[in-house]
Amino acid sequence: MQPIGLGAHLTSSDFAVDVTEDWQSEYLQFFLYIFVTVWLLQRGSPESKPVGAAHTATGVEG
């Protein structure tokens, strides 16, 4: 395997495929994290405060 220059590497299809796969993975993780967080809030998770409640409102007494 012969070394190639930076410009050739940046314009190669291998570079484009690697970057695209990495970005897809990152966006998938962020989408799932946001989706699950919103779903838990809407479902009334006991670990989440009610939507629209003050930051200090936890619903826990004691």
Would you list the domain boundaries of the chain? 8-43
pLDDT tops 50 at residue 62: no
The amino acid present at 58, given as its one-letter code, is: T
pLDDT tops 80 at residue 12: yes
pLDDT value at residue 50: 64
Query: Could you read off the pLDDT of 27-59 as tens digits, one per residue?
Result: 888 888 888 888 877 666 666 566 677 766 655
Q: Which residues contact 48 (CB under 8 A, 6 or more apart)?
A: 40, 41
Q: Is the pTM of this model over 0.75?
A: no
Are residues 50 and 59 in contact, defined by beta-carbon separation less than 8 angstroms? yes
pLDDT tops 80 at residue 10: yes
